[in-house]
């Protein structure tokens, strides 16, 4: 199976709220970053780390105009992408706020530099989302579309992939606690989905202390038991599980 953030990660680590290095509003560029450890790296409900701990890091450079560039990286299990032990996501996008709504869109390139020589593993997605407040909660709906590419095929011709999702988050007033929920639908039967359209979802809670955020989430999919298995361990990579995370924003 393949991986990534958009999540960008499904666990929605609070590192995306990282404080900027440049706090002066007159600065054209703002740099943020984060480092994290997760007990299991789940991409759209499917484990990419073989049900083991994964180390992750990210950085984003944002221009005052709304354009931004990012990278996100995570350790992965070697079954994900032809023996690769790491995933690197390169992101370029634009975000703007119109009234109470934030629009965001761009392109995300997944690369696995340590994959076996000659393996066709890298691919890209186009993404877009709309975010706003509904009562005390923040609601986000979005889509990610990967055009037809050789890296997405199981066998035969090139395949594409469409992912639709919605996120809901809520910060408990006057407390460091937050709650979140996610529902996603992978429409197509590409290599990203193991050859089957499916649903994924998670429910989580976070605690933030200064620049550190600690989280716990219950993650699941509607894959049949054993449908997505790790060939080396035999473990079910889409089986429900609890994921614990710790991140530090800088």
172 φ, ψ (degrees, to nearest 5): -65, 120
Cβ contacts of 149-154, under 8 Å, gap ≥ 24: 149/123, 149/124, 150/120, 151/2, 151/120, 151/121, 151/122, 151/123, 151/191, 152/123, 152/190, 152/191, 152/192, 153/190, 153/191, 154/189, 154/190, 154/191, 154/195
Residue 159's CB: how many other CB atoms inside 10 A?
22
Contact criterion met (CB below 8 Å) for 77 and 50: yes
Contact criterion met (CB below 8 Å) for 92 and 60: no
pTM of the model: 0.89
Q: Which token pair is 183?
A: 């529902």
User: How would you write the pLDDT of the chain (250 residues) with one tens digit per residue?
Assistant: 444 433 434 344 333 444 444 445 558 999 999 999 999 999 999 999 999 999 999 999 999 999 999 999 999 999 999 999 999 999 999 999 999 999 999 999 999 999 999 899 999 999 999 999 999 999 999 999 999 999 999 778 999 999 999 999 999 999 999 999 999 999 988 989 988 999 999 999 999 999 999 999 999 999 998 888 888 888 999 999 999 999 999 9
Predicted pLDDT of residue 24:
52
Predicted pLDDT of residue 9:
42
Q: Which of 206, 205, 131 is nearest to 165 (CA)?
A: 131
Domains of the chain, each with CATH number or no CATH? 14-249 (2.40.160.40)
Please give the Cα distance from 9 to 51 (Å, whole number): 16
Q: Tokens 């359209």 correspond to what residue?
A: 197
Contact criterion met (CB below 8 Å) for 236 and 221: no
């Amino acid at each position: 199976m393949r991986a990534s953030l958009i999540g960008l990660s499904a666990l929605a680590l609070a590192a995306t709220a990282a404080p900027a290095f440049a706090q002066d509003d007159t600065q054209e560029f703002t740099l943020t970053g984060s480092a994290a450890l997760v007990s299991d790296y789940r991409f759209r409900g499917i484990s990419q780390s073989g049900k083991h701990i994964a180390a992750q890091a990210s950085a984003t450079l944002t221009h005052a105009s709304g354009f931004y560039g990012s990278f996100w990286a995570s350790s992965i299990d070697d079954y994900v992408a032809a023996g690769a032990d790491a995933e690197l996501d390169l992101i370029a996008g634009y975000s703007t706020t119109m009234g109470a709504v934030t629009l965001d869109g761009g392109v995300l390139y997944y690369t696995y530099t340590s994959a076996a020589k000659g393996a066709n593993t890298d691919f890209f997605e186009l993404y877009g989302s709309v975010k706003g407040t509904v009562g005390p909660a923040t609601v986000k709906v979005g889509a990610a579309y990967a055009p037809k590419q050789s890296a997405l095929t199981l066998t035969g011709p090139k395949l594409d992939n469409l992912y639709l999702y919605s996120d809901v988050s809520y910060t408990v007033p006057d407390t460091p606690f937050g709650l979140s929920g996610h529902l996603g639908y992978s429409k197509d039967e590409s290599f990203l989905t193991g050859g089957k359209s499916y649903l994924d979802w998670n429910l989580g809670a976070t605690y933030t202390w200064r620049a550190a955020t600690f989280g716990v989430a219950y993650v699941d999919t509607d894959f049949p038991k054993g449908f997505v298995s790790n060939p080396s361990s035999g473990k079910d990579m889409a089986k429900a599980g609890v994921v614990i995370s710790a991140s530090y924003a800088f």
